[in-house]
Amino acid sequence: MLSSVHKIKRLIATVFIVLLSAAILSPPSLAADGKLTGVRGTFFDFIDDPWKHVGDEEASARFYADGLLVMDNGIIKDFGPYSELSSKYPGLEVTSIANRIITPGFVDGHVHFPQTRVLGAYGLQLLPWLEEWIFPEEMKYKDAAYAREGVKHYFDNMLSAGTTTVQDFGNSYKSAVDIFFDEASKRNMRVLCGVSGLDRSAPADYCVAPPQFYSDSKEMIQKWHRKGRNLYAITPRFAYGDSPELMAMCGKLHKEFPDCWVNTHVSENPTETRNAPLEHKCSDYLGCYEKYGLVGPKFTAGHGVWLSDNEIERLHKAGAAISFCPNSNTFLGSGLFRLGAVTDPRKRVRLTFGTDMGGGNSFSMINVLNQAYKVGLCNNTMLDGSVDPRWHDEAQAERNKLNAYRAFYSITLGGAEGLYLEKLIGNFNPGKEADFVALDWNAGPSSMRWHQSLICQKPATKKEAAQLLFGILAVGGDERCVDETWVMGKRLYKKGLTETSAVPGEEQR
């Protein structure tokens, strides 16, 4: 008996040694799954928050003029200079992407898929705009075929804009949310969404009674949360459109499913900012969500244009996030978000940037950066003391300036941190999901080539790459600069090759 146990032990030890030797001696390209692939090109990503490096933002970024990204079945396995890594991976199947800057995929922290068809509706502020355009359109998503066509068009637009992660507001009808997760799964995208809770200040047919909202949300959580790359966000649409009973249901769901995210709006337009606290008997807008235990890590509220300093401090302490949506805030005339106030290192608030499409009039996060830059500078006309010396605040004015480092961090690693997804996405660290974008610094309007050629023909340094990225933001200004979009190591979009249309075919995936 003893000797047979001994034999088994010896056999196990032998097998272990053989396996270990094979692992050490075999080149990584012969990994058991045989799925290692590489992308060679010029890479730019972030390893830290540039607002921590005021005056030396360059220290937050990482740049390889000739880099190699090694992927194992969609997960980043290795990343570094090509000259150092290539010999480690003989026989690696490498795709070269020349004359492009490759950044992590963009994170859109605040967007509404059922508004795809009413993008750019003319001339109204938030509440009348919702009534005239948005609620009637979102109600059409009760029809499954209409919803599916809209959702496909939405994802096509996202990918052609370089966006690989979205946090979306969903729809009051769970059937439309179900279609959203289904289409996201087909593309294997990292998404967050939920049934949108709305039971007043909207058409009766689009309102959902709190018990129904609770059971619909629960069903969708159980069906989709952490299935593939899908994540569920409990979604009280906005406190002004939610009764205390519905908000209580959100609190109940949050207690029952603490792993889920919470996504909502706060302090967007002055009228709702005044009225929401009255409806919920709170002293300010953020208090409406605190009252139901919703504000904490993985909580995001869109806009926050009219947040007080005290609300900003409470968000900071709670580890909650704001989504800055400058396209929407200017398109609907909501106001100017105080970027410099929420990036104060003493009370830094986690941030995502969002299109808020269709309140924002573009699918492009590059376009969001273009507008965010202008909002920052408009705020600075107040802070430089020239209007009223009492408002003079040079440090806050400095933080309002959206240079290339702050800008591209905010829609990649910063967006991931805002959503508490930085362990999964946001930069090219090994172990993360391989979502990335190849940006063309010569695309866009014809003036782009003239502008960029003054900087360099091809970036050799981090500083040159940052200058080209700022040109992409300020002159290119939108999805025209996106040449390729990759999701989990697979190219899902190539400019000129992938048709975007209202009804995309299956072959595009």
**Residues in contact with Zn ion by the rule CB under 5 A:** 302, 356
The structure tokens 């975007």 sit at 500
The alpha helices in 411-490, defined as continuous H runs, are 413-418, 447-453, 462-471
Q: How far is the CB of 328 from Zn ion (least distance, A)?
A: 7
Q: Which is nearer to Zn ion, 82 or 169 (CB)?
A: 169
DSSP H or E segment with residue 321: strand 321-324
Q: Which two tokens stand for residue 367?
A: 């376009």
Cβ–Cβ < 8 Å for 334, 125? yes
Write b or e for each residue in 23-34: b if 16 or more Cβ atoms lie within 10 A of its Cβ, otherwise e. eeeeebbeeeee
Q: Which is nearer to Zn ion, 356 or 483 (CB)?
A: 356
Q: How would DSSP label each residue in 380-429?
A: HHHHTSSS-GGG--HHHHHHH---HHHHHHHTTHHHHHHTT-TTTSSS--
Q: Which is nearer to Zn ion, 37 or 196 (CB)?
A: 196
Q: How far is the CB of 80 from Zn ion (least distance, A)?
A: 39
Question: Residue number with the shortest CB distance to Zn ion?
Answer: 356
Q: Which two tokens stand for residue 397?
A: 């004015």
Q: Which is nearer to Zn ion, 104 or 302 (CB)?
A: 302
Q: Which is nearer to Zn ion, 320 or 469 (CB)?
A: 320
Residue-level length of the chain: 509
CA distances from 342 to 26, 141, 314, 338, 408 (A): 50, 36, 11, 7, 17
Q: Which is nearer to Zn ion, 162 or 302 (CB)?
A: 302
Q: How far is the CB of 357 from Zn ion (least distance, A)?
A: 9
Q: How far is the CB of 133 from Zn ion (least distance, A)?
A: 13
Q: How far is the CB of 356 from Zn ion (least distance, A)?
A: 4
Q: Which is nearer to Zn ion, 277 or 302 (CB)?
A: 302
Q: How far is the CB of 305 from Zn ion (least distance, A)?
A: 12
DSSP-derived 3-state class of residue 227:
coil
DSSP H or E segment with residue 483: strand 482-487
Residue 475: DSSP 8-state = I
Q: Which is nearer to Zn ion, 45 or 356 (CB)?
A: 356
Q: What is the Cα–Cα distance from 391 to 382, expressed in whole angstroms? A: 6
Q: Which two tokens stand for residue 448?
A: 């782009």
Q: How far is the CB of 127 from Zn ion (least distance, A)?
A: 13
Q: Which is nearer to Zn ion, 302 or 504 (CB)?
A: 302
The structure tokens 């994802």 sit at 155
Q: How far is the CB of 319 from Zn ion (least distance, A)?
A: 22
Which residue type is seen at 50?
A: P
DSSP-derived 3-state class of residue 301:
strand
Q: How far is the CB of 110 from Zn ion (least distance, A)?
A: 6
